[in-house]
Amino acid sequence: MSACVRIRHDHTARSSPPSRASGIKRPHSPPPPRRGGRFRIAGADLSASITVFLIAVPMSLGLAVAMDAPLEAGLISAAVGGIVAGLLGGTPLQVSGPSAGLTVVTAELIQIYGWRTTCAITIGAGLLQILLGSLRAARGALAVSPAIVHGTLAGIGVAIALAQLHIVLGGSPLSSAAANALALPEQLGRSSPAAPLIGALTITVLVVWPRLPGRIGRAVRRLPAALASVAIATAVAAVAAPGIARVDLPSWRSHALPELPQGPVLALATAVFTVLLVASLESLLAAVAVDKLTADRAGGRTADSATPAPAAPPVQRSDLDRELRGQGIANVLSGLLGGLPVSGGAVRSSANVRAGATGRAATVLHGVWVLLAAGLLVTALEWIPLAALAALVMVVGFQMVSFAHIRNVHRHREFLVYGATITGVVLFGVLEGVAIGIAVAVAVALHRLSRTRITVTDQNGQHLVVVRGQLTFLAVPRLSRALGQLPRGGDAVVELDGFFMDHAAYETIQHWSDAQTAQGGRVVFTGRSGGRIAEPASAAHSCCRPWTPWRNHHCHDRPGRPVDTRRAAATWVASPSGEHPTAVQGPTGSGRAEADAPGVNAATAGPTGGFDTPGDGAAVPRRTGAHRLASGLSSFQRNTAPLVRDELARLAREGQRPSQLFITCADSRLVTSMITASGPGDLFTVRNVGNLVPPPGAEAGDDSVGAAIEYAVDVLKVESITVCGHSGCGAMQALMSTGPDAPQTSLWRWLRHGLPSLERMRSRHHAWARISGRLPADEVEQLCLSNVVQQLDHLRAHGSVARRLAEGALQLHGMYFHVGEAQAYLLAEGASAGSGIDEVFERVGPGDPNHAHPYDITDLSDPTGLSDPGDHAAVSAPAAAGDPADPSGSGELERTSA
């Protein structure tokens, strides 16, 4: 896409942001960060910290068992990760502690160097994390291919599961994953039944606990599955298997602290780098995942389902560099205290978000509870069977092999990289596996870059040239050979299915296209879907977007500025199916001008009848005033008409058959085709001041809207009608500011049809129309929302609409468009149909392509969704200034039960 961005250089009071000292706050902007102040603990943070604590204790002990480390080291790292990383990290809701991803690495280090040297290696890795965070290198760590990252974590998960399976069977794990796999048959032959049964019980509870049905199931599911499984296994083992191996927490007096590392310098440096790599990647990936979970929760939906989730206060986005520094400080302190390496944990963090945590307090408090448990609950912890902890960690290892990630890498044709990384980690180790994954990824990329398939077929006298893959200089000989087979002056269609075209390939196609066109041939370039790829005949719209002919003509050239023929310009392209046009980009430069641009997007770059553009680069003066209409028409005829002519000709032959009647305001900022992604023939649009629908027979002279409704419903047989309001509506502002003695002008006579909306907003017998997740920003927005709902009521009073609604052949929709945010909201289905009580407009997100009917709405003032219109007690909402119910005239009204 074009990277052209308009920049304002004037620093007037209108364009410059207000200073903080002025006390002015921009609407819909987050409040400035608090500096200083007390550490606040919300009730949600307290309950979330207890939930995470109940998960962290058995998980920390289990990971310590898996690493063959001192058990108290797991508790130390959990406490340090919660308190230190929670206070200093850049992700407020991320919970840090002993890392499942580092299990294999740490276990190997303990076997080679011993526990005390491993603590020193942890300190070294933490110092490097602090350095990298200070150098702002955290974002660069995410540049590693996701296939390699997830393959590494999956390989570690496989190794963890194989090692812990030996403990579940009553034995001890060996030094490598391959050795553990080979020794399984022998271990199965000599295992006693007690440990496997306890392990199987733990796994069964872990799997079944989140799926317990009924009211009792909902109640007991508040207890984390990890704690429930370990607690049940401990109770059963105490009765049925008193001699089973259990947790043995040594005295804190014998706790080992780090020592100066001893061994080969290169091997120690490799160990430090491995711990650094795995801990940093796991922490940063977990931070990104926490951001997504938090955004899903703030949007009112859980991450793993489409069901609404309780709205939560916004949490600031992760600062990855600060997070890396915080993790480094936590690792340094954990190593100094004799704890395990620390990293952000996806399991604990997701539990923290889902439990309703709102800030750092939940993470820090969880660390405090772990610290207290380490000192006060030693006797209780020593009752836990090792087989239960091993089964818990084994399930965590299996969960690290995510089938969702496997589907994603397979979809993106990177399964070879993923599989090679897993194999390398399992057979050779983490660092070796990462190196193997990187090597395979590079080899796959080079293979794809050099592999280009070119085929030529004859289709009824027209030749089709299909190019699959990237067009680089390596493919130029085959490309020239294929194009040379075509008859001179013949018609050809060139289908480019790739993402990149270098300069050599571009010039080859350019020269061949020019030659074919000069000899009377016609060349059409398409993408894989068949849509034509075209470019404007001039570069007069170097900053254009598809709707720019109507965008105050900002896309036209400035006087005296030369045309940059190398920039891309967007054009409307009609798809072969005759449906919506789509915007594509095409290079606007000639072959000569493209000499300075070695990379061209092959999926979009291409000519229509050649790569011909004016070569003089002369500046075209911007047309203003009376010339704007002619300039816009000229742009349409030059750029858009050739691309939509066939589609419009089909519509002219077949007649219009729109599926929707769209009633919206005449405001010039609402471009209906843009915000609904529609094209010619899709919408039957009625625009008027205030998107009003006068009731039938309301007043003479207002039959235009009624006639359009009748024609759309009875003649065109539309399937739905949408009433769309918008933010900052001037009609609603005028309606609120005009009194009963208003002058009898044409505008006021029309706006009288909006008085029922004003009465609805002020009435105590109607629930307020609201935006999901928040109340309206002011009384004007409240009236805009109420007006949409009221006009839907007016629509139902029209005979043709009522008849089609009764037949079930018509649907009504309410819509609100916030102009400043470029955000659309849809009215809840019940309210749109006239049968619902809650009038809530739900946000339509970019990931909701089929979001047409928001069925389930969760409102903060009424979580049950079963409220009565008169039962909204003590909910603040804007009211009109001067309203009788608002004697202060402040515009703020607190509604009480009617």
Coil/strand/helix, residue 69: coil
Which helix (H) or strand (E) segment holds residue 709: the answer is helix 703-710
Catalytic residue among 296, 667, 702, 859: 667
Report how far residue 844's alpha carbon sits from residue 823's, in angstroms, rounded to the nearest whole number.
Answer: 7
Which helix (H) or strand (E) segment holds residue 449: the answer is helix 430-450
Catalytic residue among 139, 218, 407, 669: 669
Assign 3-class secondary structure to 221-248. CCCCHHHHHHHHHHHHHHHHCCCCCECC
Beta carbons within 8 Å of 264's beta carbon, 6+ residues apart: none
User: And the tokens for 177?
Assistant: 């994953």
Rg for the chain, CA atoms, rounded = 33
Which helix (H) or strand (E) segment holds residue 174: the answer is none
Amino acid at 606: G
Query: Which DSSP string corresponds to 239-305?
Result: HH-TTS-B-----GGG--------S-HHHHHHHHHHHHHHHHHHHHHHHHHHHHHHHHHHTTB-TTS
Strand partners, 357: none
Query: Does residue 645 carry a catalytic annotation?
Result: no
According to DSSP, residue 20 is labeled G
Report how far residue 385's alpha carbon sits from residue 235's, in angstroms, rounded to the nearest whole number.
Answer: 10
Residue pair 591/611 in contact (Cβ under 8 Å)? The answer is: yes
- Would residue 748 be called left, alpha or beta, if left means φ above 0 and alpha means ψ between -120 and 50 degrees? alpha
According to DSSP, residue 753 is labeled G
Catalytic residue among 726, 798, 813, 843: 726
Residue pair 698/762 in contact (Cβ under 8 Å)? The answer is: no
Query: Does residue 665 carry a catalytic annotation?
Result: yes
Assign 3-class secondary structure to 183-215. HHHHHHHHCCCHHHHHHHHHHHHHHHHHHCCHH
Residue pair 817/675 in contact (Cβ under 8 Å)? The answer is: yes
Query: Does residue 804 carry a catalytic annotation?
Result: no
Nearest 5°: the CA angle 561, 567, 572 is 110
User: And the tokens for 7?
Assistant: 């920049």
According to DSSP, residue 50 is labeled H
Beta carbons within 8 Å of 711's beta carbon, 6+ residues apart: none
Beta carbons within 8 Å of 690's beta carbon, 6+ residues apart: 665, 729, 731, 732, 735, 750, 751, 753, 754, 787
Catalogue the E-assigned strands of 588-693.
599-600, 660-665, 683-688
Coil/strand/helix, residue 335: helix
Beta carbons within 8 Å of 780's beta carbon, 6+ residues apart: 728, 729, 732, 733, 736
Report how far residue 51's alpha carbon sits from residue 202's, in angstroms, rounded to the nearest whole number.
Answer: 19
User: And the tokens for 758?
Assistant: 């004003």
Catalytic residue among 729, 753, 760, 843: 729
User: And the tokens for 329?
Assistant: 């400080």
Q: Report how far Cα 499 is from the mean position of its chain's Cα atoms.
A: 23
Beta carbons within 8 Å of 803's beta carbon, 6+ residues apart: none
Specify burial of residue 880 (Cβ count, 10 A radius: 0-12, 13-18, 19+). buried
Beta carbons within 8 Å of 665's beta carbon, 6+ residues apart: 687, 688, 689, 690, 691, 724, 725, 726, 729, 731
Nearest 5°: the CA angle 805, 811, 816 is 135
Catalytic residue among 119, 543, 544, 665: 665
Cβ count near 343 (within 10 Å): 31
What length is written for the chain? 898
Residue numbers annotated as active site: 665, 667, 669, 726, 729
